[in-house]
Structure 1
């Protein structure tokens, strides 16, 4: 709680007045302690404001009395301070859809459901956002990492004009449609992040961004800013080329040389040797077999040199005696040919954390559950929830670094591990327990010690306080 308060105090310039800061602080704790839906009224009730005027909480966002971008900038600057000793700044970018039901909510439209079955395309009604996160490693470069969100940008589609609209309206629609494309918006967010890093005197540090296949295209690759490396996934049948030989004489210079095998053919070929690289993934350090080809070119990237990385699929067993199954191979490109293969692989594997962010922001913190219709509120409240998520994990990281935190012991069905990862559910439980223990004048330390001692006993009847502190959404 102390670290969370300290971080939120740094966000004071993001508010139009001190009263707005105070009200937003109450909403922040309401969003973290609420056990129901994270609507604005749910946050107010969780913070004990259910019998006071509620309209000020709505005006906080509808009249733009809080600049959520500045709160996320505070999160970014603190993450950069924690990772200042690392040679690169590792970032992740991806988009997500927040489901909605109201057809008159600004920015909503029919979207393709990414969780639909592969044999049938489902559509859902919702909003679309692009998120950028910075990697916050736990210890060292080959270790566990947490993705801390620093940007959450609303990306609505452009409304299509009627068939009877004039030519000028259709021309305007086509131009706005190009600007609203996710790839164009993604390229703009990368440029904005690079500019912010330059303003914070990180202009000499390389920014390494991991993306999926939807952003590995010419719109992003041909518009990368300076000191920026992109690691993205490509198709297994991508057409790649060598660098052309030096051309003598007149005529237009060649950009692409001889045709190379496709990434799938490279994986199957014995011409390119495998090399073993260690990297952290799925809770431990794995040994990955990879192939790497330097100095290749791709038409989507233009005249810049790339590196191709082919990752052999890992084997795993569903049970101890089951047969070995294999995941799919991965094919990556990197715009920095001199970067260490170990750093490339680890930076991309850390990208999975942004998917964890999306799930926890929606399920645990209720991002998108606020029932608002105002244009400003529709955009800013989900961003505020994401900013609270980032502040929570940053406060946890700093509290762990300063001293050993006093945490609620995990339930008995959790395995006892020395290097256990503190989940977001654990953080929310501990924060609620600290707040409720303080409000009810309970000795939190005594309760934690008592629960730790009785954890190994059988048929132990839990007290009402224990059941109260271990409430889940």
Structure 2
């Protein structure tokens, strides 16, 4: 029984984040119950898992709707603990991505109609949901080979800028609709001239997804600067194509390197040659074409690198071109272009290839092999988001107040981050020492590490072991109970029992 005590000890470090010790104790109960309860992760089910369903529940909901605590303070504790696991010879690598949580209530603040990322390629579906931006710290193996673990360090609400409502065409005297023209003959609702649409485009540049993403990057850089040992360390930010644009590239903070996937049809230029004599100085050199054209150019040689991805090492083929300039995206900032050849795989007896990838790096001097490995480690944020929504039920709590809509999911994700840190401290980064026996159909391919589902199962097993000691016969002295020793260590009673979890499974 190691995981539960370690998790509770880490949660105790959240005490300065709350103004009152009673609020902190309530937060400890919810951090544990939201992880181990069965079914949908609602506030009421977490209350039942803590055996407080026959008491007033007002304070439980006020923890997220009225209490004065900040999710950033919780993630600051997570960040400081996670940085202790980062190698001193490696840069600090984070991944950034946005995700949605589906909703049904139309009075939930900041909920809006968003594009469904699970839509088929031939038809875009729309869903009513909340949008969040998440940042994770990638804990990489010390030897550089093996799977990484993504620790969430931010989970911010990122609502889209609302569009202006569509104006109705005025009716004529005969009752027919007019030609949508005003008194001056201008089209009503025309997006290029309407002041409301002009204001919308301006606000989208200032508060859109890319703008909120770069604000989060600046915030994380500021949080690193507040830690003495990491103030001068480089920060690598790995993003997808939605954050590789002029909004982000033009506002990157110092000591920050962006590694972003880009399109295959952007136009790149070389650095200008040295000029002599009079005349205006040139900022851009000759046109180099598009990344797709460079991939097909035989004069640029292919290179190979050993990269760990999908549970094993791969021999990757890539091209490196740099420094280059992207006039429309990065202006005069020097970049490096990395072209990744399509990976081959076998399916149904056929040899198939995936799509090529094109990366832009804002530091042309960065080690290309490390950049490639960091890019492939970015997949860990997708694993985190899948576990958070499918397994942990982030976003399932039925809250409607403006503060609770942003605070409750962030609290849930921060609790998950503490569980991952406790697991690394107990079992190691890529260890399966605490893994129970696998089903017969999985014994031929055992996992490389403990998954989130297995970690939650370990928490429940520890709670069940505590209950077994409490109900043992003959009864033991209270000092012999593991529960008593653990409660003395953390300074509070453990609010969750396995019996309460099972009894509340039907609610």
* TM-score under structure 2 length normalisation: 0.83
In the other structure, the counterpart of 2:346 is: 317
User: 1:393 aligned to 2:450?
Assistant: no
How do residues 98-177 of structure 1 correspond to structure 2 at under 5 angstroms?
98-160=101-163, 175-177=202-204
CA distance in 2, matches of 1:177, 1:419: 44
2:80 maps to which of 77, 81, 86 = 77
Question: Residues 174 and 271 from structure 1, CA distance in 2 versus in 1: closer, same or farther, beyond 3 angstroms?
Answer: closer
1:254 maps to which of 268, 276, 282 = 282
In the other structure, the counterpart of 2:99 is: 96
1:285 maps to which of 302, 313, 332 = 313
User: 1:191 aligned to 2:194?
Assistant: no
The Cα shift of 1:141 comes to: 1.9
Question: Residues 305 and 192 from structure 1, CA distance in 2 versus in 1: closer, same or farther, beyond 3 angstroms?
Answer: same
Does the Cα contact within 8 Å between 2:136 and 2:154 map onto a contact in 1? yes
Does the Cα contact within 8 Å between 1:29 and 1:47 map onto a contact in 2? no
How do residues 393-472 of structure 1 correspond to structure 2 at under 5 angstroms?
393-401=420-428, 406-415=434-443, 420-441=448-469
Question: Residues 419 and 213 from structure 1, CA distance in 2 versus in 1: closer, same or farther, beyond 3 angstroms?
Answer: same
In the other structure, the counterpart of 2:482 is: none
Does the Cα contact within 8 Å between 1:305 and 1:337 map onto a contact in 2? yes
5+ residue gaps, structure 2, are: 169-188, 473-498
CA distance in 2, matches of 1:228, 1:175: 26
Alignment deviations for residues 157-176 of structure 1 (CA, whole Å, 9 cap, x no partner): 234456599x9987765544
Does the Cα contact within 8 Å between 1:399 and 1:405 map onto a contact in 2? no
CA distance in 2, matches of 1:309, 1:168: 42
Greater displacement, 351-360 / 403-412: 403-412
User: 1:305 aligned to 2:368?
Assistant: no
In the other structure, the counterpart of 2:57 is: 54
Alignment deviations for residues 175-202 of structure 1 (CA, whole Å, 9 cap, x no partner): 4433220111111111111111111121
How do residues 369-388 of structure 1 correspond to structure 2 at under 5 angstroms?
369-388=396-415
Does the Cα contact within 8 Å between 1:59 and 1:65 map onto a contact in 2? no
Does the Cα contact within 8 Å between 1:128 and 1:156 map onto a contact in 2? yes
User: 1:179 aligned to 2:206?
Assistant: yes
User: 1:337 aligned to 2:340?
Assistant: no
Alignment deviations for residues 414-447 of structure 1 (CA, whole Å, 9 cap, x no partner): 2356772211111111111111221133999xxx
CA distance in 1, matches of 2:471, 2:146: 35
CA RMSD of aligned residues (A): 2.5
Greater displacement, 153-162 / 336-345: 153-162
Partner of 2:84, secondary structure, is helix
CA distance in 1, matches of 2:35, 2:439: 21
Alignment deviations for residues 65-106 of structure 1 (CA, whole Å, 9 cap, x no partner): 432211111111111111042320011001111111111100
Partner of 1:247, secondary structure, is coil
CA distance in 1, matches of 2:409, 2:455: 20
5+ residue gaps, structure 1, are: 445-464
The Cα shift of 1:406 comes to: 3.9
Question: Residues 172 and 297 from structure 1, CA distance in 2 versus in 1: closer, same or farther, beyond 3 angstroms?
Answer: closer
2:14 maps to which of 11, 16, 20 = 11
The Cα shift of 1:261 comes to: 2.9
Question: Residues 138 and 2 from structure 1, CA distance in 2 versus in 1: closer, same or farther, beyond 3 angstroms?
Answer: farther
Aligned residue pair count: 444
The Cα shift of 1:404 comes to: 8.5
The Cα shift of 1:410 comes to: 2.6
Does the Cα contact within 8 Å between 2:272 and 2:283 map onto a contact in 1? yes
* TM-score under structure 1 length normalisation: 0.89
The one of the two structures with greater contact order (alpha-carbon pairs below 8 A, sep at least 6) is 2
Does the Cα contact within 8 Å between 2:427 and 2:434 map onto a contact in 1? no
Partner of 2:253, secondary structure, is coil
1:25 maps to which of 19, 23, 28 = 28
Partner of 2:440, secondary structure, is coil
Does the Cα contact within 8 Å between 1:64 and 1:376 map onto a contact in 2? no
Partner of 1:357, secondary structure, is helix
In the other structure, the counterpart of 2:178 is: none
CA distance in 2, matches of 1:242, 1:192: 33
Partner of 2:95, secondary structure, is strand
Does the Cα contact within 8 Å between 2:435 and 2:450 map onto a contact in 1? no
